[in-house]
Chains A and B, each alone.
Chain A
Amino acid sequence: MKPKLRTIITTRRAGTVSRKKIRAAIKAVMAERTPEMERLVRGEPLRKTAGTSGK
């Protein structure tokens, strides 16, 4: 049997902003993605010019 990815679990922590607003903001940012950003979201390797977040 082919291994399946796990679904992401979301919790109910009470932050300073509602989850509904967070999801709306994420969708708005997703709508403006560049092709390079789409690649990274798919988990494809970083290009050297893309930079890294490591310290």
Chain B
Amino acid sequence: MRPADYDRSVFVNCPLDDEYRYLLDAVVFAINDCGYVTRLALEVADGSEVRIDKIAKIIRECRFGFHDISRTAADPVTNLPRFNMPLELGLFLGAKRFGSAEQKLKSCLIADIERYRYQKFISDIAGQDIAAHRGDAEVAIQIVRDWLRSATPKSIRIPGGSAVHSRYVAFRGELPALSAKLHMRVDELTFIDYINQVEDWLMLNPHVDV
């Protein structure tokens, strides 16, 4: 894809499995409805590129990072937790700390199920902005919107969280019919197909500037 503007790109670091998909879908919609662009590792189809290189490239191209560290439970098969999200959060924080002047402008939102739970498993991130989504899509939309509001110049209007959520409910309500017209089912949508539908739906249904 064509790299978007650094100042409007949001790297999303979260579990990429079916169990988390309802939250990812909501977060992606909120980011885009606030006028930003979602970036995540799933967008790159080039199997010849090393995964960590893909992720580092996307992080470099994004001023903003949404990091969900809520998946701490052990995998039922291996009985081990997955560490990809904390690793990518560390990369993002490292780029901000040691990178160029542009990289030092990075801003991130760290999300978990509960606000202070991180202290039990990743206490070194104390002092960062940690928000709790409680596993609820509506709350996740609100915290993403509020974070982007605080990071956006006051000369630009960002829609309220409840308005973004109402529009997300409308989009989800139309998604089955929309996907059916494209000979697809919602549960079969790839991330790229989903985000393309989000972007085009938002473009055809802009907020009314009153």
Interface pair A37/B170, CB less than 8 Å apart: yes
Q: B174 in the interface, Cβ–Cβ < 8 Å? A: yes
Which A residue's beta carbon lies closest to that of B38? A11
Minimum distance in angstroms from B22 CB to a CB of chain A: 6
CA–CA, A54 to B139, complex, Å?
Answer: 8
Query: Nearest chain-B residue to A30 (Cβ)?
Result: B204
Known A-B contacts A17-B193, A41-B205; A4 and B182 likewise in contact (beta carbons under 8 Å) = no
Q: Which of A4, A11, A42: most chain B CB closer than 10 A? A: A11
B interface secondary structure, majority:
helix
B190 within 8 A of A: yes
Residues of A contacting B35 with CB < 8 Å? 5-9
Q: A13-B1, A17-B196, A40-B167 are in contact. Are A1 and B137 (CB under 8 A)?
A: no
A54 to B166, CA, bound (A): 11
A-B contact count (CB 8 A): 153
Chain B interface residue count: which class?
35 or more
- Chain A interface secondary structure, helix, strand, loop or mixed? loop
A43 near B182 with CB under 8 A, answer no
Interface residue A48 (Cβ < 8 Å from any Cβ of B)? no
A37 to B206: give the CA distance in the assembly, Å.
14
A 15-55 to B, binary, CB cutoff 8 A, 1 in contact else 0 = 11101011101111110110001011111111000111111
